[in-house]
Amino acid sequence: MKPGRIKPPMGHDNAWWWQQAAEDKLAIQRCSGCQVLRHPPRPMCDRCRSMEWDFIIAKGEAKVISFTVLHHPKFPGYSYPLPIVLAELAEGTRYIAELIDCDVERITRGMRLQVTTQTDDDGFKIPVFRPATGSE
Amino acid sequence: MAITLHNEAAIVGIGQTAFSKNSGVSELALAAEAVKNCLDDAGLDPVEVDGLSTFTLDSTDEVELARAVGLGDLHMFAKINYGGGAAVGLIQQAAMAVATGVCKYVVVWRAMNGRSGQRMGQGVSGEIISSDLIHWSWYMSHGMLTPASWVALIASNYMAEYGAGSEHLAEIAIAQRNYALNNPVAAGFGKPLTMDDYMNAKMISEPLRLYDCCQETDGGVALLITTPERARDLRQKPAIVRAVTQASTRGQEQMTSFYRDDLNSLPEMELAARRVYEMSGLSADDIDASCLYDAFTPEVLMQLESFGFCGRGEAKDFVQEGALRIDGRLPNNTHGGLLSEAYIHGVNNIAEGVRLIRGTSTSQPPKPINHALVSSGVGVPTGALILGADD
Ligand SMILES: [Zn+2]
């Protein structure tokens, strides 16, 4: 088995999100006070200061705002060149993740993406992006 | 009476160790040597020092340093967070301490085996659950482990938006290397950098190539701060603190402020700029030279706009005109900076700001330097400092 990716530490503020990821879902935290969506998750709403929240599951549609391609240094558990995109989800929040199944030469700002789950050899699951069908 | 930090403090000593890739000594030894050299430069007996400030990332404990150097009774010791974002914050701590009378003489320092020991460029990892580590986990798990990768994601968007290209980044890297050619302690001393060298260097994290990234350095730098009155009794011509501030703004993250509406500016650096201009009564027009934090070249472009040296999106043209060169509008990082002198987390950039005011830079610009601007780390909670000559 090849070395797996670095695992996130899981505490009160983020473990629930990774539990959703383990079920192939990209969750977005929602304030129960003012209904604003927020990511990354936090224990308090910075608008209404409510500490009550639930979450929705993203539809998985997104578009590229910015991107980089990592070349150096190379860490075990990742393959290079490694494209990373800053994307805006259809729901309006942003999410940063690897882009898979895409030639790095073809990445452009505004490109349409679909969220999918990457499952590592050790069973760890993480939401990533791939090009949306028909966007190539 | 309201206390501002306008003309309330002066930097009056600079000390540093050799800069290397393998110091062969402890970080405590580097800190002690830098502090001793700093006090010798100022002509102050170590027993007079009563305040200390450094980075939370610094491994040297305050009392271990005090025991090693033989400092006297301490009235203040303070550590500041956020990597290179701490640099100017040390001066603010010191200035507040001497302005209020809490301390007479404050030493600030940063000493690190940044190449042979823990390397910033190797990224983050860890097991302890803290708010900070949970923050990093959103990026770590995807393989975004290095400062270059976080900065690249912001730089890529900025450059696409405003049409800045590799040639503009190269202009910054080459201008600073040309300064380092005159600086015997710089990593880039005797190593010219051509456009071909720049373009052919390995890609790190697109659009950042090797020479867009700073050095990794073993070494230490220390500075002595006191009141302007006491400064006049010491050996060196003081660099007066015209204004100093820390700055962090809404939506700030550490290196990864990817969720703010506007991704093409540095709100925290704009806040720092407003604060230091207001406090000093100066504007960008009054700044003769700068030491803008330069861990990565795009950070210099973005800061030129934050501090009002040019308009939004115009930094690429500003640098292309040669503004950062020795005969340009704004000679920048005349020691070579973090890119070509050494990476002492920006404290070496503050030291160069002091030298510009003293008139002792190895690349002292031909024009008078009445005011020099220095900034802290970029993309993190940060700060800015304006130094001026004693009237
Ligand atoms: Zn709310």
Name the 3-class secondary structure at A116: strand
Asked whether the beta carbons of residue A8 and residue B263 sit closer than 8 angstroms, the reply is no
Chain A with chain B: Cβ pairs closer than 8 A: 106
Cβ atoms of residues B383 and B244 within 8 Å: yes
- Please give the structure tokens belonging to residue A77: 């558990």
Of the candidates A34, A89, A33, the one whose C-alpha atom is nearest the C-alpha of residue A57 is A89
Question: What is the distance between the alpha carbons of residues B356 and B168, in angstroms, rounded to a whole number?
Answer: 25
- Please give the structure tokens belonging to residue B257: 């402020």
Q: What is the pLDDT of residues B136-160, one digit of tens each?
A: 999 999 999 999 999 999 999 999 9
Q: Which of B129-133, B357-361, B380-384 has the lowest mean pLDDT?
A: B129-133
Q: Is residue B172 in a domain?
A: no
Beta-bridge partners for B291: B374
Q: Is residue B309 in a domain?
A: yes
Q: What is the pLDDT of residues B170-206, one digit of tens each?
A: 999 999 999 999 999 999 999 999 999 999 999 999 9
CB-nearest partner of B143 from A70, A93, A94? A70
Q: Is residue B151 in a domain?
A: no
Which of A5, A6, A64, A88 has the most B C-beta neighbours within 10 Å, making it the best mutation to test the interface with B? A6
Q: In chain A, pLDDT over 70 holds for what percent of residues?
A: 98
The reply to whether A47 touches chain B by the CB within 8 Å rule is: no
B259 an active-site residue? no
A37, with CB counted inside 10 A (0-12, 13-18, 19+), is middle
Number of helices and strands (H, E) in chain B? Answer: 13, 11
Domain region containing B299: 9-117+214-389
Q: Is residue B126 in a domain?
A: no
Which domain CATH number covers B312? 3.40.47.10
Which residues are CB-neighbours of A79 under 8 A, at least 6 positions away?
Answer: none
Q: Is residue B199 in a domain?
A: no
Give me ligand 1 centre to Cα A112, in Å. Answer: 29
Residue B127 pLDDT greater than 80, yes or no: no
pLDDT at B363: 98
Q: Is residue B84 in a domain?
A: yes
Helix (H) or strand (E) holding B241: strand B239-247
State the total domains in chain B.
Answer: 1
pLDDT at A135: 59
pLDDT at B130: 82
pLDDT band at B123 (very low <50, low <70, confident <90, very high): low
Q: In chain A, pLDDT over 90 holds for what percent of residues?
A: 90
Average pLDDT over residues B68-76: 96
Asked whether the beta carbons of residue A8 and residue B129 sit closer than 8 angstroms, the reply is no
Asked whether the beta carbons of residue A13 and residue B128 sit closer than 8 angstroms, the reply is no
Query: What is the ipTM metric for this complex?
Result: 0.93
Q: What is the pLDDT of residues B221-242, one digit of tens each?
A: 999 999 999 999 999 999 999 9
Length in residues, chain B? 391
Question: What is the distance between the alpha carbons of residues B61 and B159, in angstroms, rounded to a whole number?
Answer: 41
Nearest CA in chain B to A124: B141
pLDDT at B124: 58
Q: Is residue B174 in a domain?
A: no
CB-nearest partner of A98 from B127, B142, B154? B142
Q: Is residue B197 in a domain?
A: no
Burial B166-202 (b: 16+ CB within 10 A, else e): bebbbbbbbbbbbbbbbbebbbbbeeebeeebbeebe
DSSP summary character for residue B236:
S
User: Which position has the token pair 């959103």?
Assistant: B138
Average pLDDT over residues B321-343: 98
CB-nearest partner of B160 from A5, A71, A109? A109
pLDDT at B120: 72
Highest mean pLDDT (candidates B114-118, B258-262, B349-353): B349-353
Q: What predicted TM-score, i.e. pTM, was given to this entire model?
A: 0.95
Q: What is the pLDDT of residues A63-115, one digit of tens each?
A: 999 999 999 999 999 999 999 999 999 999 999 999 999 999 999 999 999 99
